[in-house]
Amino acid sequence: MKAVTDQEVPMVPPPKDYGGNFLLDIREALVGVGLVVKNERSGIATLDKDCTNMSRFLNRILGLEVELQNRLFAYFTETLSVVVQQAKKSGRWDEGILDLGAHGEAVNDVSVQTFAGNSIFGTATTELHTVSVERGMSWEESLELRASKTYPDNGYYLSNQIRNDKKTAVLVICEPRSKKKNSIYVSVYRPNTGLQTKPETLEDIKKKYKMVMDHKARSSWIEQYDSALNQCSHAYWKGNCKRITLGIGCDVGRRQRTYHILCGSVLSVWSKLETLLAGQPGANSKIQIVRCRKSDDSRIVGCLIPSNCVPALVRALSPDEAADQEPIIIM
């Protein structure tokens, strides 16, 4: 809104294919629906006091001409994407509740440590669960899924773009009833990350990928699947990863991830947890809530603990005589 009223430099450039002054036309249109106030004497446009009310914004832009309405909403979503990216980089992004095992991933316990301490409610017990999450899809699993779906456009697709002498392989599954507003929405499966949480349209898939016979996708699929066990996407596609070069671990695009979850009577140790995370950079300084559904259908809810904080947390929660106690290994 500040970009539209010329109060700030736009975070996203106006659409190049728009015939005219995009921001000026939008500004005039928003004056008409009451989101922007124009001073009749000076001609200066200012924002309405409720300009940050999202419901009001979405309702009012329905009063614009359809083409301009669509253009404005597209410009809004592009700006929002940039805002989210910046928030993630600076550590201000709040992901809400993290769900593990909610999208078909295999979640299994690696170890569980139990800590007992005194509280006003009696003996407060907390548990530190270390879980391994496998979200990839093997070639055999993908073939089984492929065989169970017979829609004409279902199958393996290879990317048109070649990166580091490699092509991306995906499995596309669309159902006859997945059509919305003349667009067929499909489920996309990747070797390293399994089912994408966000569906795509078949039209968009065909712009980036080409459908191939099953056997032609096999080598690319297996290579991606195998490499993702120990290698992040940056190293696989570019040959290197800046984070790994700096000695910082990188899990982007990896099949398996390890999470440490503190659950049980977390409130009894909340102050210790806050103190521990306060010195962490970026998003790790905030307490992240996690819901976890394991492969045995058991569930836990707790706080996500960064890997580098685990030793300090164990020391903070353990009695002196039990500080070196070994965790219980789950086989």
Same domain? 128 vs 143 = no
Whether the pTM exceeds 0.85: the reply is no
Same domain? 179 vs 145 = yes
| Residue 177 forms part of a structural domain | yes
Q: What distance in Å separates the CA atoms of residue 136 and residue 105, rounded to the nearest whole number?
A: 8
Amino acid (1-letter code) at residue 84: V
What stretches of the chain adopt beta strand conformation (E)? 36-38, 45-47, 98-100, 106-119, 122-134, 155-159, 169-173, 179-180, 183-190, 194-195, 200-201, 209-212, 256-264, 288-293, 299-305, 328-329
Same domain? 107 vs 155 = no
Query: What share of the chain has pLDDT > 70, as a percent?
Result: 87
Environment class of 67 (CB within 10 Å of its CB; exposed 0-12, middle 13-18, buried 19+) = exposed
Same domain? 298 vs 164 = no
Same domain? 119 vs 261 = yes
The pLDDT tens digits for 176-209 are 555 555 678 888 999 998 888 777 888 889 999 9
Range of the domain at 185: 139-242
Listed residues 207, 242, 277: the one ending a domain = 242
Q: What distance in Å separates the CA atoms of residue 291 and residue 302, rounded to the nearest whole number?
A: 7
Report the number of distinct structural domains present in the chain: 3
| Residue 45 forms part of a structural domain | yes
Amino acid (1-letter code) at residue 14: P
Same domain? 182 vs 225 = yes
Same domain? 186 vs 147 = yes
The residue with greater pLDDT, 67 or 117, is 67
| Residue 120 forms part of a structural domain | yes
Distance between first and last Cα of the chain:
55
Residues 133, 259: contact at Cβ < 8 Å?
yes
Q: What distance in Å separates the CA atoms of residue 260 and residue 310, rounded to the nearest whole number?
A: 8
The pLDDT tens digits for 255-313 are 888 899 999 888 888 888 888 888 777 666 778 888 988 888 889 899 999 888 899 89
The pLDDT tens digits for 33-88 are 888 888 777 777 778 777 778 888 889 889 999 999 999 999 999 999 888 877 76
Q: What distance in Å separates the CA atoms of residue 183 and residue 200, rounded to the nearest whole number?
A: 9
Nearest Cα neighbor of 72 from 136, 141, 24, 7 is 24
Give the DSSP per-residue string, 90-104: HT-----SEEESTTS
Listed residues 181, 211, 242: the one ending a domain = 242
Confidence of residue 91 (pLDDT cuts 50, 70, 90): low
Residues 110, 294: contact at Cβ < 8 Å?
no
Amino acid (1-letter code) at residue 70: N
The predicted structure's pLDDT at residue 75: 92
Q: Is the pLDDT of residue 323 over 50?
A: no
Residues 6+ apart with CB under 8 A from 47: 1, 2, 5, 7, 35, 36, 37
Specify whether the backbone of 148 is left (phi greater than 0), alpha (psi in -120 to 50) or beta.
alpha
Same domain? 145 vs 223 = yes
Same domain? 234 vs 150 = yes
The average pLDDT across 230-248 equals 84
